[in-house]
Structure 1
């Protein structure tokens, strides 16, 4: 078998090769995964159990929480299992599957965030027509279209990846990242690289532009509110979403769409940890801390459980 053309498994080098640092990073990763999963699950249960939260805004928030659970479950559990078992390997098929679902959940996350920005734009700038425009059908459409479109994009990337041969099976990452796999290939990756920009660019940049386009009139509308209390109330409903957008988009654009000359392994790894682990963990706390209705629903849910 030619080592340059056939790979049956990959070796994930992880976040670090230092044994002592691995112990610390394992504990940190496990804590982030546990807190993120539990926090997002509680957010979903609170929204579902409280009839007062059955509105478009919380519908999108519950979908974002579900996405975050799926997102962190794509990469962290495999890393934790490898650490406990003392191995760093992942099979070829499992690696492609991990890459596929990572693209699906991260891409859908981007589009859902822009749908949430559009929802806030309608609620603040067109409050009288809000419930008419944000019908059940439109809310479902704004969720289903991202899922379908990003699955098709992930399928294209996965099919293109199967045609590549690899010079080495050592991935300098803690999961099977699309860019990391392309860099390992001995084949002509020109088509793969073009498709990353052609398909990946719109998924990240178009929603980002839509978010900016939504928040520009929101900022103007909030500025015209006469009372300071009214301004704060309007800002509080949007501030949490803007915080999540800045964390998520800032790190993704830094890793995938910044000039190659500015990339370093440590910088890219830190940015990847931010959007794959830290941001999904922080999302439920960011939204609940600024939202009285959600905090009330969470208190009711927890009191019932106790």
Structure 2
């Protein structure tokens, strides 16, 4: 085009239109990077994902910021809602956690605050197969407060233990001093005994951190159980793909866990809140298989970035 040739008005309009669209597109990408993750749509691993509870989405409130239900963000999953549970409580509604929004320490994401409270999924069998040979990997973006000492060293942030002996299922817990521990109770009875102890080194090991985690600091806590028959590994991770503890556990194909609870060890209508934890959960995910080391590292990198988890000492 010659210097003195006038610009075609139609071409000029098209350039302005495309320029405007480009600006809007760049702005949308920037907002997507800056805003809290919505529903796990950008998770690097989704194969086997059966549960994604995200405090940014799917939270149903009542009475202000009290949570009556938390919806699984995995589409077409067998597990749907985790709901409040009044049965067994002296005061209706006292078991509801509280939504806490725009938490600066984790990049503006939301959390649910639990204080001896719980949300229950009412499907009796949805998670059974994870401990009978399928294996699992779970992730919890969370913080802890000072624990109320009820049953010694049992302050559960999730679990699907059977509502009666031998209490088979899998769970994540805190000691009274906030050391983290996890386990899989396989329902195998020790020879010569009438009940299963809280921990059994051969049948029901305690997989734990050696030191407490800090109060009011956010962590990425993870657990993994191997797949298959016979004996498999249980592994616990904190902010890293290097396990802080690993122990073998026998698999029982006849194990029969129960409903999954967030905030306590089971659907404990006989003593709600007595073995629950004090703290917050921003994200809770469960895969119905043991992720590979590479997949685990990919998920860790993603969640640490999204929630701005501090991984230093």
Looking at secondary structure, tell me which structure has more strand per residue: 2
Looking at secondary structure, tell me which structure has more helix per residue: 1
Q: Same fold (TM over 0.5)?
A: no
Question: Which protein has greater RCO, CA pairs closer than 8 Å, 6+ apart?
Answer: 1
Give the TM bin, normalised by the shorter chain.
Answer: under 0.3
Alignment TM-score, normalising by the size of structure 1: 0.27
